[in-house]
Structure 1
Amino acid sequence: MTVTDWHAHLWPRAYVDFLDGHGQDCRHQRGVLPGDDSPAMLRRRLQQMDDSGIDCQVLDAAALYPRLAPPGRNAEAARLAIEAMAEAVRTAPGRFAFLGVLPLPLVTASLRELDHLMNRLGARGIVLPPALHGTSTLGSHYDPLYAALDHARAAVLYHPAGTGTGPSLCDPDTVTWSVGAIAEQTTVVLDWLAADMSDRFPRIRPIISRAGGACFLLGPDTVEGVVTSTLCFDSHTHGNTEALRLAGRHVGRHRILLGTDYPFIRDARLAEAVHRFQAVGSLCDEPPA
């Protein structure tokens, strides 16, 4: 059985340089090693994957979504990101795959980039923030994009943007990032259910990062809606075994995917994350502590 990590970050140098050169703050991504696409960092990544038993990483550039003005520059930034990520995949066939970024909120430009990254570059899908510029990425404005994603049977990883409840969330080192990320992850689940996305776009593979935030702590009707939806969840819960157990008991082992948050989780902690994921099946059968 192939062990695939669906929550792993890569911030290509050309992409970061472009965003930084046009005024978007990229200090945090520059400070995370090994997070770039240099040959040395890719070799280090592969070695850590080998040491941890990970066969493939699905790379994404979250939470560094392009937010440039004028909006047309976002298309140029997105193209830089996906071309660089596709090149990283080509350096290690079978070991890497990737999820593209799109120049939202420009739907027409995003559809063009989606065609390019799926049909020409072989991406698995895209990564999206739960909201962008204060508006949900599950709003009806994006229906043409979701129709295209559905047609392509694409994966969509919803990853926090770090700006959901206030400017302080831009600093991932503060406790407000952790709380805000949970809020974003929970909200996107509610938005997915409210928009009947599983019925309208059943061929999309939606993945909510970090086991869905607090969605399994909500009311029974909401939890039942999650259970009967097409939503999947990754296993990254910052080591919180009870959160992972709760998600697994509700939706079953088959809808929990490995997610590590690499390179934030690396070295010995990476192997620990894989072991927690592999224990999900037994955790689901255990009574709560």
Structure 2
Amino acid sequence: MMKFTRKIDFQSHFLSPAYYEFLDSEGMEKPDGFPTPDWDLETQLEFMDTLGIGFAFLELSSPGLYTAQKEKTLRYVRRINEEAAEYVSRHPERLGFLGVLPLPHVEDSIREAVYALDTLHADGIGVLTNSGGVYLGDRRYDDLMKELNGRGALVVIHPAAPAVSIPNVCEDISIPAMEFFFETTRTFTNMVLMDTFARFPGIKWVVPHAGAFLSVLADRFESFSVMLRFDNPDRHADFMADMRHVYFDVAGFSEQKQVELLLKNVDSSHLLYGSDTPYTDIFACIGQTEALEQTKKLTYEQKQMIFTENALELVPRLKKITSLGGHNYAAGK
């Protein structure tokens, strides 16, 4: 039994009937070189109980819904958002959801974001690192960013397959195993270089998998950022400041090295729990979660913050949920 029983999960994936239908229509039997898992609402709740999760934000994973057929993308985006909202309506005390957008179509994405947030009452928006090869720092997204910034929206990033892959190099390892980490690192750096975080400071960004390689490369990247600012004082391009600004979920095998490194650059108030179910096998999720619960690299108070308290501050409506309120987040020290 998990010691901490009121975790709030920022990387909990769902696969609705429309999403399975979309994958089938695109001939994606093994997208990203990884088997598509089974998912249903009952199993979701069972996983949550097993892992001590009190509340989870349902989020679509990779692959996204981009196709060359715009109308098809729009149709499936709307269906999947409405299916997610219906799941939440059955268990509003335990589930929220992150609306999916038809990126890279900006005007359509603005309309869908408004619909998801205002009509379906999504808690935020989920976006992939790139959609159709367009990355999140791209200035073509500025109007969408303005809309989300004005709302102070929660926006959770998830990696996707890179826009360009190198063939015949690492074919025997799936894209999620390695390329997702490169992709997260690449996308965050792209957003730093495009001043995305500085220009839209109201957006509450969540970066996945403990920031991938960001902590390892932060000092190196910052040295180059200093040169960019020296050449053009109007640029923000502040790698370290942007790392401190965003939030990071700690999904994946983060306890072994990543969390300790991340805390050298980021305050523990900006770390959040993530399970990565069902793409990560439940037994692996148990092992990863137990590692976080038992690690000596974090204080008891930091664990409370990561599992529950930081999320309550980031998404204040969660404080109204009785099972998540208060400060007794664990069965005991």
Q: Pick the TM interval, shorter chain.
A: 0.7 to 0.9
Q: Does 1:120 align with 2:105?
A: no
Q: 1:248 Cα deviation (Å)?
A: 2.4
Q: Which has the higher contact order (CA 8 A, sep 6+)?
A: 2
Q: Does 1:234 align with 2:249?
A: yes
For residues 26 and 80 of structure 1, do their structure 2 counterparts lie closer, same or farther at Cα, with a shift above 3 Å needed? Answer: farther
Task: Identify the range of structure 1 (226-235 vs 147-156) with the bigger mean alpha-carbon deviation.
Answer: 226-235
Whole-angstrom CA distance in 2 between matches of 1:269 and 1:6:
17
For residues 167 and 206 of structure 1, do their structure 2 counterparts lie closer, same or farther at Cα, with a shift above 3 Å needed? Answer: same
Where do residues 5-84 of structure 1 align in structure 2 (5 Å cutoff)?
Answer: 5-21=9-25, 23=26, 25=28, 27-28=30-31, 31-35=35-39, 41-84=40-83
Contact 1:208–1:233 (8 Å) recurs in 2 = yes
Contact 1:26–1:64 (8 Å) recurs in 2 = no
Unaligned runs of 5+ in 1: 36-40
Q: 1:2 Cα deviation (Å)?
A: 4.4
Question: Rg bigger for which structure?
Answer: 2
1:250 pairs, out of 262, 265, 288, with: 265
Deviations 1:175-214 (A, max 9, x none): 5542211110101110121122222111111111111111
Contact 1:99–1:124 (8 Å) recurs in 2 = yes
Q: Which residue of 2 aligns with 1:273?
A: 288
Report the residue type matching 2:277 in the other structure: Y
Deviations 1:27-85 (A, max 9, x none): 459954442xxxxx311221221122101111111113112232122111100110001
For residues 115 and 183 of structure 1, do their structure 2 counterparts lie closer, same or farther at Cα, with a shift above 3 Å needed? Answer: same
Q: Which residue of 1 aligns with 2:7?
A: 3
1:5 is paired with a residue whose SS is strand
TM-score w.r.t. the length of structure 1 is 0.85
Whole-angstrom CA distance in 2 between matches of 1:87 and 1:121:
9
Whole-angstrom CA distance in 2 between matches of 1:153 and 1:132:
23
Q: Which residue of 2 aligns with 1:154?
A: 153
Where do residues 143-182 of structure 1 align in structure 2 (5 Å cutoff)?
Answer: 143-166=142-165, 174-182=173-181
Q: Which residue of 1 aligns with 2:306?
A: none
CA RMSD of aligned residues (A): 2.8
Contact 1:207–1:233 (8 Å) recurs in 2 = yes
2:265 is paired with a residue whose SS is helix
Q: Which residue of 2 aligns with 1:105?
A: 104
Q: Moved runs in structure 1, 4+ residues, more than 6 A?
A: none
For residues 204 and 26 of structure 1, do their structure 2 counterparts lie closer, same or farther at Cα, with a shift above 3 Å needed? Answer: farther
Q: 1:272 Cα deviation (Å)?
A: 3.1
Q: Which residue of 2 aligns with 1:38?
A: none
Q: 1:121 Cα deviation (Å)?
A: 0.9
Contact 1:19–1:77 (8 Å) recurs in 2 = no
Q: Which residue of 2 aligns with 1:189?
A: 188
Q: Which residue of 1 aligns with 2:274?
A: 259
Q: 1:19 Cα deviation (Å)?
A: 4.6
In the comparison of the two structures, how many residue pairs are matched?
Answer: 277
Contact 2:136–2:191 (8 Å) recurs in 1 = no
Q: 1:165 Cα deviation (Å)?
A: 4.1
Report the residue type matching 2:117 in the other structure: M
Unaligned runs of 5+ in 2: 224-237, 300-333
Whole-angstrom CA distance in 1 between matches of 2:134 and 2:36:
28
